[in-house]
Each structure stands twice: as C-alpha cells, then as structure tokens.
Structure 1
Amino acid sequence: MAKGKNLKLHNPIEKHFNVITPYHYYFFFLIFLSKLPIFWHVLNLIFLTPPMKYYCEGGCPYCPYLSWDRSVFSETMQTKFNLVCDKTWLVSFSNSISYVGTLIGSLLFGFLSDKFGRLNSFTISCLILAISGCLVSVMPMEGLFIFMRCIEGIGVGGAIVTAYVLCIEFCGVRHRESVTALFHIPINISHMTLAGISYLLRHCDDFQLALSVPVFFFVAMKWLVMESPKWLMDNDRVEEAAIVMEKISKFNRLSSETIKEEIEAYHATQGQKRRTKVKFWQIFNHKKLTLNLGCMSVIYFVCGMGYYGVSQYIGRMSGDIHANVAISGALLLPGTITAFFLLKILNRRTFLMGTTFLSGLFMIIVICIPYHMGWFRVVIACICNCFFFMSFIIVFLYGVELFPTTIRNSVLGFLSVLSRVGQIVAPPINSLPETAAGGIFGAMAIIGSILCYPLPETKDIELPSSLEDSKSLPRKRTSTLEENYNAVEMK
C-alpha cells in the first residue's frame, strides 16, 4: 500500500519499549524503590515540626521555666531550638524554606537533565539529598538547620522530576499510563511507612538519619541502569542510543541486529528542522503552547498546594498524629489503584478535570462538618487528599505529553516549580483557622478544574519530538492506540 502523506514513522525506541521486558522490571524496580526514601523527605516536616504543647511559668521573652509536653515526641525542631513566643514563626518558615529548596531543585535539575542527561542528574540529586539529609540532624542552630533543609529540598526536587521523566522515556505509548500510576504506589507506601518510622523514633535527629542514610544506595544508580535512549537519540547521540538499546536487548536475550539501522533511519527522516534543539522560551512564540503552559502552571500549583497542604491539614486535625497520617497514606493506595484503571478508560482532560473538582468539593464538605465529628472529618479529608493525589498522578503524565523531548524536563522542572510554590504557601495557609484553610484549598481546586478545559488531548499519542508535534496535538481524542499502530503497519 502506498505511504500516506500524513502518516508518521514510529519512533523505533518507543516501538521496542511497547513490550515490557525483564530489563524494564529491573529498571522500574530500582527507580520505584528509590521513591520510598525520597518521598519520606517530602513529608518529613509533619514529624519534624509537629504541634507541640509547652508550659511557661516565667513569662516571655526568656521563659526560664519552659516545660515541653514530651508525651508523644522526645525532641522536635521546636524543643531543640526553643521556638516559642516570638520565634514560633520559624516553624512554618522552615517548612516553607524546605519547599523553596524543592522548587529550586525541580527547576535546576529540570534544565540540567535536558542538557546533561536524565541519569546523571538523578544520581547527583540523590547525593545532595543523602548528604544534606544527614547534616540536618547535626545542625547546632536554627538558622543552619533551616539552610540545610533548603539544600535537602534541592535534592528532593531534582530526584523527583528526573526519575519520573526517566521512567516515562523508558516505556512506550501502551504502558505510559500504567507506569505513571504504578510510579505513585511507592509514594503511597512512603506516606504510610513514614508514620511508622516516626512512631519508633520519637527523637527528630534519629528520625531524620533513618530517612537519609538509605538514599546513599541510589547514588549508585549511575552504574546500575542506563541513560534514556530517547534522550540520547533526540540530542543527536544516535550511536550511544543504539548502544544502549543493544545492551538492553542483550540483557533480555533478544536479537538487536536491526535496532541501530532503525534508529538511524528514523533520525534521518526527522529532518534538520525537527532535530533542531528548541529552547524553553520558544514556547512563548506560539499562542497554543503558551496557553497550554499557562493552564498547566496553575493546575500544578493547585495540586502542590492541595496534596501537601491537605496532608499537613490532616496531621494537625484532632486525634493521634501517627494514626491520622497512616490512615491518610493508606487511603491514597485505593486512589492510585483506581487511577491505574481509569487512565486506561478516561481521556487525560476528563480525568484531571474530574479529580481536581472532586478534591475541591470534598474539602468544602470537610469544613461544613461539625468539629465534634472528629473521625468523620478525618476520613472525608483523607478522601479529599486521595483525589488530590490522583490529580498529581495524571498531571505529571499530562505535563510530559504536551511538550517535546528537548525541553520536556525543562518544562516539567518549570511546572514543578509552580507545584513547589503551592507547597511553600501550604504551611502559612494551614496556620490559619481550619475553616479558612479548608475553604482556600477547596476553592483553588475547583478553579483548577475549570482551567483543564482549554488543554488538548494526548491519550494514545506518542511523546512529541518537536514543537510542531506539540502544536498539532488535537483537542479531542481522534483514534485509539491500536488504530494508530494499524495505520502505520499498513504503510
């Protein structure tokens, strides 16, 4: 049959990655395992700076007879540095500064990984996180403690964005949704087990060390797995991309005789214009891409503020803090499993719009429930957080599908910055009365759902390699994955 003018030659790397192989199980296992200690550091502020009661007989500002209630925690940031009276603001400030570091890390390593590779950036992020995380526990003054928490956040932000893009670029269209959902299961486990670690280690320094030491193992990922071949090919490093694919084939005990020729042929057909490296700022030369970036920026902000804000909100609600956090993490797991199936059925825009709207609705319900119905309020807040988490699952996937390879991590880094800004404002919001804080979280989520409407649909479409690919994304889903592949096979 004659070659159709509008049919696109399939990326051979994505074509090969449409089959999950033994190497994929090995690769994903290591990446997913790294998520446990990395996300412990995302939420460790819940137990480093929990609500603490104290008694002072001498009066401010010196409180010579200060007595802390250590019935739950033997040492926290507040007790370690005597953060009372005019120093209480340092508690929420330290939490926000930690998220500032995460913001910097997301943006910095987003750009670095587009320039120097996904794997290099991931291992450097882990090294920064491991060292700074350990140093946090030995900082002698609150200023140094806060500074080191910022460095710790830089490592967290870099590790999150680089690991996710690395995973997505190691799977084809068929498995992109499944990998995205499964990527978040270790995060759920991390959320639940964090409460258990804190329950066993009530001293903040012991707790922090227990979270940080395991990260050193993942610095060795540089020598345990391989760089993204898609990133290598799209950066004109065709020979290296072919070598990686050949090594993967050898690991899987499969033939690799034609893979190099396939990659070279595909690369040659793209043309000089398609291979030209675009810059992040070139997005703003195109109205459609600017709109996409603007809407996604607000949605990322809402997801960051909502998920991390409501997680802190739940930790401060009445009841046992360890039980509340563990229940919150446990209820996220059904949401992740549900997302796994819904991603196969629903379009990206429909899924994201629905989860953000429902998270806002349930948060508004929480603030309408009387305070004396404590457990019921906690459960509804956990359901709200579950929908916020589902929004996070889809928004990460949606964001990487909207923009081309050469700026994908840069865009994800930029969007993650907006997510981190949301995290930064979450602690000050939670310092407000519960009703006011819940109202802000709920209203912003509903606004985010409205901004999903202008976005294009990316379900069952290969990751774009150029700005032209990104601009041509349809408003509606026009064909299924199988129809796309059957069309190409008929060429």
Structure 2
Amino acid sequence: MKMPEETTVKSANPIEQRFRKIRRYHYFFFFILFLSKLPLFWHFISLIFLSPRMDFYCDVNKGGKNYCPCENPRWDTSVFTKTIQTKFNLHCERQWLVTLTQSTVYIGTLFGSYGFGRWSDKWGRRSACVYSCLTLTVSGCLLSFMPGIVSFLIVRFIEGAACGGYVVVVFVFLVEFCGPNNREIVSVLFHIPPNFGHATLAAVSYLLRDCDYFQLAISVPLIIFVSMRCLLYESPKWLLDLGRLDEAADVMGKIDKFNKEPNPSMKPELEAFRASMTSNTKVTFWEIFKHKRLTINFVCMAYIYFVCGMGFYGVSQYIGHMSGDIHKNVALSGLLLIPGTCIALLLIKVLSRRQFLMLTSLISGVFIIIVVFLNEDLNLLKVIFACICNSGFYLSFLVAFLYGVELFPTSIRSSALGTLSTISRIGQIVAPQINTLSPFAAALTFGIMAIIGTALCIPLPETKNVELPSTVEDTKIQDKAKKVKHNVEGATSDQEAAPSK
C-alpha cells in the first residue's frame, strides 16, 4: 500500500504563539479599536437619515402630494426639519441626485478600501488607521457647511474613501494582534460595536432632525481616535514579514513591558523563524493570479463580498423604506443584530469558516424571499423577517472579513482585503439602484444572489485554527494537509475493509 507523501512543516510564528494568550496590552488595544467602530459605522448608514423619503406639496392649486413639475415645494417637515432634499431642493427632475448622494459615499469607499489597503501594506497598519480616521473626521465635519450639491458630493466622496480605508486597515490591524486560538472570537466581538452603532444612530437622528447638526454629531467624536498613533504600537507581524526584525523585536519588548512581564529579546526567535521561510514574502497583489489556489480564493470571495455589501446596505435601506416609523424600524434592525452576533460567538467555535458563511448566506436569501410573499397586513412580521435577513448578511460580512484576512499572505493581506472591500463597495453602489425597483423585484434580487453566494463557498479551503500565512506557499498548506488527511483516511478505510487472513 502506498502511503501518502509528507508535507513540509514550517516552524511556528513566534509572534502568533506569544499572542495565543490575551494580556493587558491586548485589552487596551482592543478597547480602542472596538470603541472607534461605533462612530465609524454611523457614517456607513447615515444616509438613511440624511436623505429619507420626503413628501412635498406645491404652492399652486393643482396636483397633490409629490406632484411634478413644482417650482416652489412645501416640504413635509413633521419628521425631519432639514434633509439633503430640503437643503438642496432635490425633487422632481432633480430627484435622481438623492440616489447619487447615496452612491457617492460607496464610490468613495471603493477607492478608499483599495488605496488605504495599499498604504497599510507599504507604510504600516497604524499610520493607515490614523490618517484614514483623520480624513473621515475632517470631511465629515465639512459636509455640514457645503453650500451646494456639487461640493457636497465631492466631500461625501472623500468621507466615503476614509470610511472604506479605515474599516479595512483596522480589521487587519486587529487580526494581526491575535493568535490562531482567539482570532475568531475577537473578530466576532469586534462587530458588536457596529450593532450598537446601528441602533444608536436612530437615537441620534431622533434627537437631531436637522441633517447638518446630525452630521456634525456623528463626525466630531472621531477626533479622539486620531491619537492612536501615540497610544498603539505597529503590528509586529507586519514588521516581521517585511524583514524589519529589530523593529518587530522592539515592539514585542514594549508590549511585554506594558504587560509587566519582562522577557528576553525575541530577536533570536524572529531571526530563526525568518530563516525558516522557504519563499519570498514580498509579493505583489497581482501575483495572486499566478497561483490557482489564490485565484479561486479571490474570485469566490469577490462575489461573496459583492453580495454582502449589496445585501446588507441594500436591505438596510429597504427596511428604512418599509411602512412604519423609520426610527423604530432602523433601531429594531440594529438591535436584532446584537443577539445575532452573540449567537455567532457560539457558532463560530462550532462551525468551520465555510459552514458558517454558507449558513448565514442561505438564511439571508431565504428570509428576504419570504418577505415578498407576505401580505401587506403583516407589516411587523415583514419588518422582523427583513431584519433577520439583514442580520444574516451582517454575519456573512463578519465571517467573510475574517476569512478574507486568513486566505492571503501578509505582504498583500491589506491589499487583497482592500480590493475585496472595494468589490463590496460596488455592491453598495448598486444597492440603491436595486431599491428603485419594485419591493418585490428588489427583495427577490437580494435573495437569489445570496443563495448563489452560498454555493460559491464550496470551493474555498478551510482556515480555522491555522496561523496567518506569511508566504504564498503557506496558503497552499491547508490544501496539502486536506489531501494527506483524505489519503490517510482512505488508506485506513481500505485496511478496515480488507478481509483478515
């Protein structure tokens, strides 16, 4: 009987092994990054309240509500005193500009995800976080003072770029401070602040019905997190994989000092690990397509990211347009994300990455399709089912972000995640256009595409409890291990099935 070939085993990454235990610095580090996600997420869904559906009446004695053409509309300000529509007089033939303001921020995130992702890979995780946060703070505040729709759209684009960049680099920054054993739990917990952000944004809007004051309120708090450059250390894993061993050892020493656990310098361990690497760690993003495994990973994840972006932000807007109080609908949608995320804490320990992603994608697709077949009299049930769908898309996003980080080597990790996030932003750009269709067609589109995404999870390799890859060769180890395991299991089965002599 031919025995399976052995696979080459690379020495364990000493930084990831040291990070297997959560210590004082980790709690400090996680607290700052977690807290920053709350006001950041406000910007992602702020358009729900900046440009809600607004009714108007014409001054002339003809027509009725929302009658066009109308030169001097009287806006219904019973819910919102000022919105983008009322500020820039966007109605009738200018109504399309409302959708454009929704898409502009997503176009910005498209460029920001890729641009800041490249920045992060080249100049560091910490600086990319700081400057994207600073850009978001400044552009967010400036939006309240824009005098015209053109200047508003330009600044909105910059705000979107900063949002997209920050969400990518901060997640990579976070994951690189985790060991293989706690990466999944920390990444799930990292998505709880946005849950509260989703729910509390409705409260901010309820208190501030003027879009200018509302925009300032969600932007000013971010200035606090620009201080991350002084408070946090650079990712030692990024420094290690780029060959900056002295800096990596220095950071690990500072972390040990912060933890009040003085240890010998890690430089000898880092040098030994670096010497054990069998291939060049400095690869470019486009080299992904020279390797079959990486190409499959990227193509499948690209579609999944597109559907997650389109589905979550599209269904969030869909819920905002459903009948009933907009603040209650959005708050309910956000609150339902919290138990969903808590359930994810349990499921992600039990299920593999692939199983988790398939389950949440399937739930999203099925529940939004059910919504379109429910009677209009069952509005509360329709909202609840749509919120469950939204939770499914959110949890898909949650595991997809972690999965995307684990599938690519360090030198292109932020670039790959940034590119995938860029594709996700394209989905967000498309989402408002889908919502211009009939509610039936929009919901059916979201549902069918989610179910297709479920099927595209099948070709992906499993990355649970595996160290973050440093090289291209590392990304192939899981496939080799699976083949060896399959051969061993097959050989064992043959032996058990063979008749004894």
- State the TM-score, normalizing by the size of structure 1: 0.94
Instruction: State the aligned residue count.
Output: 475
Counterpart position of 1:254: 261
1:74 aligns with 2:81: yes
Contact 1:114–1:409 under 8 Å retained in 2: yes
Pick one of 83, 94, 101 that aligns with 1:87.
94
Counterpart position of 1:170: 177
Deviations 1:83-116 (A, max 9, x none): 0110000001111011000111001011110000
Q: Give the Cα–Cα distance (whole angstroms) in 2 for the partners of residues 412 and 289 of structure 1.
A: 13
Counterpart position of 1:44: 46
Deviations 1:254-295 (A, max 9, x none): 122142221122112224x343x1011111111221111100
Contact 1:54–1:68 under 8 Å retained in 2: yes
| Aligned AA (1:295) | C
Q: Give the Cα–Cα distance (whole angstroms) in 1 for the partners of residues 482 and 188 of structure 2.
A: 21
Q: How does 1:114-125 map to 2 (within 5 A)?
A: 114-125=121-132
Contact 1:305–1:419 under 8 Å retained in 2: yes
Pick one of 139, 149, 156 that aligns with 1:132.
139
Contact 2:249–2:265 under 8 Å retained in 1: no
Counterpart position of 1:485: none
Counterpart position of 2:423: 418
| Aligned AA (2:473) | E
Contact 2:10–2:277 under 8 Å retained in 1: no
Contact 2:253–2:265 under 8 Å retained in 1: no
Q: How does 1:478-489 map to 2 (within 5 A)?
A: none
1:67 partner SS: strand
Q: How does 1:23-34 map to 2 (within 5 A)?
A: 23-34=25-36
1:158 partner SS: helix
| Aligned AA (1:300) | Y
Pick one of 368, 376, 391 that aligns with 1:371.
376
Counterpart position of 2:358: 353
Deviations 1:292-341 (A, max 9, x none): 11000000000000011111110110000000000000000011111111
Pick one of 229, 241, 247 that aligns with 2:248.
241
Q: What's the RMSD between the two structures over aligned residues?
A: 1.6
Q: Give the Cα–Cα distance (whole angstroms) in 1 for the partners of residues 337 and 75 of structure 2.
A: 33
| Aligned AA (1:219) | V
Q: Which moved more, 1:176-185 or 1:62-71?
A: 62-71
Deviation, 1:477, is 6.5
Q: Give the Cα–Cα distance (whole angstroms) in 2 for the partners of residues 393 and 325 of structure 1.
A: 20
| Aligned AA (2:273) | Y
Contact 1:459–1:477 under 8 Å retained in 2: no
| Aligned AA (2:212) | D
Counterpart position of 1:451: 456
1:197 aligns with 2:204: yes
| Aligned AA (2:389) | C
| Aligned AA (2:305) | Y
Q: Give the Cα–Cα distance (whole angstroms) in 1 for the partners of residues 106 and 398 of structure 2.
A: 19
Q: Give the Cα–Cα distance (whole angstroms) in 1 for the partners of residues 166 and 221 of structure 2.
A: 14
Q: Which moved more, 1:46-55 or 1:463-472?
A: 463-472
Deviations 1:225-271 (A, max 9, x none): 01100000101111000000000000001122142221122112224
Q: How does 1:79-478 map to 2 (within 5 A)?
A: 79-271=86-278, 273-275=279-281, 277-474=282-479
Deviation, 1:62, is 6.8
Counterpart position of 1:53: 55
1:381 partner SS: helix
Q: Give the Cα–Cα distance (whole angstroms) in 2 for the partners of residues 36 and 80 of structure 1.
A: 27
| Aligned AA (1:85) | C
1:15 aligns with 2:22: no
Q: Give the Cα–Cα distance (whole angstroms) in 1 for the partners of residues 84 and 333 of structure 2.
A: 23
Q: Give the Cα–Cα distance (whole angstroms) in 1 for the partners of residues 457 and 155 of structure 2.
A: 37
Q: Give the Cα–Cα distance (whole angstroms) in 1 for the partners of residues 102 and 484 of structure 2.
A: 46
| Aligned AA (2:228) | M
Q: Give the Cα–Cα distance (whole angstroms) in 2 for the partners of residues 254 and 465 of structure 1.
A: 27
Q: Give the Cα–Cα distance (whole angstroms) in 2 for the partners of residues 403 and 70 of structure 1.
A: 50
Q: Give the Cα–Cα distance (whole angstroms) in 2 for the partners of residues 206 and 434 of structure 1.
A: 32
| Aligned AA (2:122) | K
Report the CA distance shift for 1:312/1:396 in structure 2 as closer, same or farther (over 3 A): same
| Aligned AA (1:114) | D
> What is the percent sequence identity of the aligned residues?
55
| Aligned AA (2:164) | G
Is the radius of gyration larger for structure 1 or structure 2? 2
Contact 1:458–1:477 under 8 Å retained in 2: no
Contact 1:347–1:477 under 8 Å retained in 2: no
List runs of 5+ in structure 2 lacking aligned partners: 1-5, 486-501
Counterpart position of 1:488: none
Report the CA distance shift for 1:383/1:476 in structure 2 as closer, same or farther (over 3 A): farther
Q: Give the Cα–Cα distance (whole angstroms) in 2 for the partners of residues 80 and 88 of structure 1.
A: 13
Q: Give the Cα–Cα distance (whole angstroms) in 2 for the partners of residues 168 and 66 of structure 1.
A: 51
1:227 partner SS: coil
Deviation, 1:64, is 4.0
Deviation, 1:342, is 0.9
Q: Give the Cα–Cα distance (whole angstroms) in 2 for the partners of residues 150 and 388 of structure 1.
A: 25
Q: Give the Cα–Cα distance (whole angstroms) in 2 for the partners of residues 479 and 221 of structure 1.
A: 45
Q: Give the Cα–Cα distance (whole angstroms) in 2 for the partners of residues 430 and 476 of structure 1.
A: 45
- State the TM-score, normalizing by the size of structure 2: 0.92
Deviations 1:347-376 (A, max 9, x none): 111111111011000010011101121111
Deviation, 1:5, is 7.3
List runs of 5+ in structure 1 lacking aligned partners: 481-491
Q: Give the Cα–Cα distance (whole angstroms) in 1 for the partners of residues 209 and 91 of structure 2.
A: 20
Pick one of 6, 15, 40 that aligns with 2:8.
6
Q: Give the Cα–Cα distance (whole angstroms) in 1 for the partners of residues 29 and 288 of structure 2.
A: 32
Q: Give the Cα–Cα distance (whole angstroms) in 2 for the partners of residues 23 and 479 of structure 1.
A: 39
Q: Give the Cα–Cα distance (whole angstroms) in 2 for the partners of residues 299 and 65 of structure 1.
A: 45
Counterpart position of 1:483: none
Report the CA distance shift for 1:421/1:175 in structure 2 as closer, same or farther (over 3 A): same
Q: Give the Cα–Cα distance (whole angstroms) in 2 for the partners of residues 81 and 5 of structure 1.
A: 64
2:181 partner SS: helix
Deviation, 1:63, is 2.9
Contact 1:180–1:397 under 8 Å retained in 2: yes
Contact 1:106–1:417 under 8 Å retained in 2: yes
